[in-house]
Copies of this chain bind each other. A is one copy, B any other.
Amino acid sequence: MCFYTDLMFTQSEENYLKAIFHLEQEGEAGVATSNLSEQLQAKAASVTEMIKKLADKNLVDYQKYYGVRLTENGRKQALNIVRKHRLWELFLAEHLGFKWDEVHEVAEQLEHIKSEKLIDSIDKLLGYPKNDPHGDPIPDKNGNLEKKNKSLLSKCKPGDSGVIIGVKDTSSSFLQYLDKQHIAIGTKFTIQHKEPFDGLLDIDINTKQLKMSHKMAANLYVETNESSS
């Protein structure tokens, strides 16, 4: 029984909306079938099929062969799912002792629970938080998403200092690697030296001096007070 004029969506539809949203965030205007196919671990043919369904429901604009974009309504729905996902992640971390590399998988399931009261209560319990355990912003109830101007640590220059505010790669292996190095959201750093050849950084972090690979730096979002130069 569904009392809403506002339709409800299947888990699969929700996953598509979320995937399109994330790929749009990555820059492309017009998300390609192949990218969705990869993101969703489904064959391209399946993606085309679902895209058509979403287009029929006015959740996406679709032009054959030229990819897909969220409509305003589609974006609103996607943001709501992202909101739920990130709130659940934070709940798991803060109230149930999950580590930041453990929250994603379970949140993938919890995000599909249909109860406005439930998610609003979780939001309240958490104190209307702004960011999830990976530093990603949590959309508010109205779909407003804070757009912090974050940059990648790999773009910083010697002399720059700042704070880690997020991770790009959220894989368990990367997050556990960060744990091992005691790097977390909020950790402060100063760049001492950057090797021109391979981008290897000498970086002050946690009162220690560390050699950080370019690959690692390219997966850390930072907020900097740029050095005067």
- Chain A interface residues toward B at CB < 8 A: 92, 95-98, 102, 105-106, 109-110, 113-115, 117-118, 121-122, 125
Q: Are the C-beta atoms of B92 and A125 separated by less than 8 Å? A: no
| Nearest B residue (CB) for A118 | B106
With A96-B118, A96-B125, A97-B121 as given contacts, are A109 and B113 in contact (CB-CB < 8 Å)?
A: yes
The listed residue (B102, B113, B118, B125) touching A117 by CB distance below 8 A is B102
**Chain A interface mostly:** helix
Instruction: Report the bound CA distance from A98 to B117 in whole Å.
Output: 9
- The complex is assembled from copies of this chain, and their number is 2
Q: Are the C-beta atoms of B109 and A121 separated by less than 8 Å? A: no
Minimum-distance CB pairs A-B, first 8:
A96-B121, A106-B115, A109-B113, A106-B118, A110-B113, A97-B121, A96-B125, A109-B114
**Least distance between A206 CB and chain B CB atoms (Å):** 29
Residues of the B chain whose Cβ atoms lie less than 8 Å from the Cβ of A118: 92, 96, 106
**Least distance between A88 CB and chain B CB atoms (Å):** 10
Residues of the B chain whose Cβ atoms lie less than 8 Å from the Cβ of A95: 125
Residues of the B chain whose Cβ atoms lie less than 8 Å from the Cβ of A105: 115
| Nearest B residue (CB) for A96 | B121
Given contacts A96-B125, A102-B117, A106-B117, 13 further A-B contacts (CB under 8 A): A92-B118, A95-B125, A96-B118, A96-B121, A96-B122, A98-B117, A98-B121, A105-B115, A106-B115, A106-B118, A109-B113, A109-B114, A109-B115
